Amino acid sequence: MWRRVAAIVGRLAILAAILIFGSTGWYLAKRGFGRQWRYRVVEELHKRGVEASVGRLTLDPFRGLVAKNVRIFDYKNRENTLVLISEISLDINYAALIHQCANHAATHRRWGEYR
């Protein structure tokens, strides 16, 4: 009797975990990360000499972290937009991320237009 109850509770716990994981993934893919995460990406790009703004930061299950509606500005004159990029797939240095430093190993440009 108790084994049956334990099995049912275990199955419900696994189902709840799968639903929570799935809904969190869907939310991050559709709605994206908050302003704080976008500012962190922009700050890391600024440290490397790139002035940019990120419109949305989402998590794609196949491409990873994706920055959308990215604008690259002239370093001396921020009003001058150099490049508009619709999506950039960001490769993250996860070892550095664990150590509270979000260093970006590389970025890949996808579908952009130059000005």
Q: Could you state, in order of their start, the residue ranges of all structural domains in the chain?
A: 1-31, 32-114
pLDDT of residue 113: 52
**pTM assigned to the model:** 0.63
Give the C-alpha separation, 32 to 67, whole Å.
9
Q: Once rounded to an integer, what is the mean pLDDT over residues 74-93? A: 85
Q: What is the pLDDT of residues 16-47, one digit of tens each?
A: 999 998 888 788 777 888 888 888 888 888 88
Q: By percentage, how much of the chain surpasses pLDDT 90?
A: 20
DSSP characters for the chain? Answer: -HHHHHHHHHHHHHHHHHHHHHHHHHHHHHT---HHHHHHHHHHHHHTT-EEEEEEEEEETTTEEEEEEEEEE-SS-TTSEEEEEEEEEEEE-HHHHHTT---EEEEEEEEEEE-
